[in-house]
Amino acid sequence: MEPIEAFARELNSGYPGTGIFFGEPMRKHTTFRIGGAVSLYAEPKSIEAFVWAVRELKRRKIEYMILGNGSNVLFSDRRHELAVLGTARLDTLRFAGDTVISGAGVLLSRVSSGAAKEGLTGLEFAHGIPGSLGGGIYMNAGAYGGEIRDVVEAVTYLDAMGTLRTVTGAECDFSYRHSRFEGTGEAILSATLRLRPGDPAKIRERMEELDGMRREKQPLNLPSAGSTFKRPENGFAAKLIDEAGLKGLTLGGAQVSEKHAGFIVNTGEATFEDVLGLMETVKERVFESSGVALEPEVRIIK
């Protein structure tokens, strides 16, 4: 029996009900709707199952990665010989005073909506971000002047050796679109957020205001991974791309959004190569016109 099949059988035996899929296309699990099949896709249904799965994958020397809502990831179209562990079922969420305790797989929209109902302010900016809490912590997601680092009190994670650990928000090494977890092989499992008491009506009003701004300015009707490039120092990627005359530029099924130049969108049948090629063209043309070297915000899995 292949190692990955043996692993899957033991995972399902030890933790019945775990979602396990062989040869699963990643286009089904990413907001770009692009990506080839992986050897195994599994969604452990508890932290205990998730910890077992990570430790076993390490022990068996099976290559793997952790995936949240897939909202900031671009997979190539080839077959990927690896296991992907989705965090969607790490979905516990509870409130205690001004504290939020949430599993890594809970969508940021759900956390922020729950906070609003509890009369807690501080997460309004995150309501329209299409990612999970774990993914938001991983990349220090932010919008409209707010960032995840503003509210994170503690994060529980599995380190590269398979040991459960907890760090404070201050120890997460947050910076623009970065945290200490980036590229370390550590798996974020849950987090504690510290918010502030507020007026539920005003909190909801602010969320609706930001949602309206997103609908007006962003191409939410087409698959994408959100902002394609990081904000450069002393400027905005979308403005530089627009000034370079690249709005609407198309390569295959990929397009620089006509609505928001900071987004590359999938107009229907975009391939990995379409998106990657268009990103390279944008980077080259922006550098030619402004001298600014754009850096991808999207995580690229080749």
What is the Cα–Cα distance from 179 to 192, expressed in whole angstroms?
16
Give the end of a domain, one of 202, 230, 254. 202
Same domain, 7 and 49: yes
- Quick one: the chain helix, strand, coil %, rounded to 5? 30, 30, 40
Q: Note whether residue 209 is domain-resident.
A: no
- pTM score, two decimals? 0.92
Same domain, 163 and 230: no
Q: Which pLDDT tens digit goes with each residue over 223-260?
A: 999 999 999 988 899 999 999 999 999 999 999 999 99
Q: Which pLDDT tens digit goes with each residue over 19-65?
A: 899 999 999 999 999 999 999 999 999 999 999 999 999 999 999 99
What is the Cα–Cα distance from 139 to 70, expressed in whole angstroms?
12
Q: Which pLDDT tens digit goes with each residue over 114-124?
A: 999 999 999 99
| Residue 67: per-residue pLDDT | 96
Same domain, 152 and 176: yes
Domain coverage including residue 33: 3-86
Same domain, 226 and 292: yes
Q: Note whether residue 111 is domain-resident.
A: yes
Same domain, 64 and 36: yes
Helix locations, the chain, DSSP H: 3-14, 47-59, 108-117, 133-138, 200-217, 237-243, 272-290
What is the Cα–Cα distance from 187 to 67, expressed in whole angstroms?
10
| Residue 1: per-residue pLDDT | 58
Q: Note whether residue 211 is domain-resident.
A: no
Q: Note whether residue 274 is domain-resident.
A: yes
Q: Percentage of the chain surpassing pLDDT 70?
A: 100
Same domain, 128 and 150: yes
Number of domains in the chain: 3
Residues with a known catalytic role: 177, 227, 297
Same domain, 188 and 286: no
